[in-house]
Amino acid sequence: MEYYNYLKSLHLIFVITWFAGLFYIVRLFVYQIEASEKPSPEKEILQEQFKIMSYRLWYIITWPSAVLATLFALSLLHINPAFVEMPWMQVKLGFVVFLIAYHFKCHAIFKELQHDKVKYSSNFMRIWNEGATIILFAVVFLVILKDAVNWIYGVIGIFLFSILIMLGFKFYKRIREKK
């Protein structure tokens, strides 16, 4: 138990850098997709630069952060296995499963874009970027509020937050289209 707070701190640091990587990689996907629609030689120059930036972000920051955050989390659960039995932790771990699935889908998109395969629009990627935001909000509220969370209000809150994000996206899209 003497190392518990150190492990918890390291876990939190790597969760933060993992999310930072996920937020930024999807923004790079947006830029890379938009670059694919530019005329030559601008298209090739931008795509090459975004590939380099994405590669470095993904393999130097995001993947290592995901692995280290997971290892420190498993260490914390090993030290205090009673946490797994707590309802809030079970829900949190469910969101972590969604986060890992989101990460792997981002990895698949990353690989496609590294090979110049564009399957999604930049608008889709802007919406996709909000997936990590929703997971982050859910996990932070679960961790901070724990058993004080009224599950019904929590689910309604996440649903309403998702709607607000989508409305914000549509509003921002209209502003961008006017420029």
Say if residues 19 and 132 touch (Cβ distance below 8 Å): yes
Contacts of 53 (CB under 8 A, 6+ apart): 28
Distance CA 105, CA 137 (A): 20
CA separation for the pair 18, 9 (Å, rounded): 14
Single-letter code of the amino acid located at 83: F
> Cα separation of 22 and 57, whole Å?
9
pLDDT tens by residue, the chain, 179 residues: 789 999 999 999 999 999 999 999 999 999 999 999 999 999 999 999 999 999 999 999 999 999 999 999 999 999 999 989 998 899 899 999 999 999 999 999 999 999 999 999 998 999 899 889 889 988 888 888 776 556 667 777 777 888 888 888 788 878 878 87
The confidence score (pLDDT) of residue 147 equals 63
- 92 labelled binding-site residue: yes
Main-chain dihedrals φ then ψ at residue 116, nearest 5 degrees = 60, 30
Confidence (pLDDT) at 158: 77
**What pLDDT does 141 receive?**
81
Q: Is 43 annotated as a binding residue?
A: no
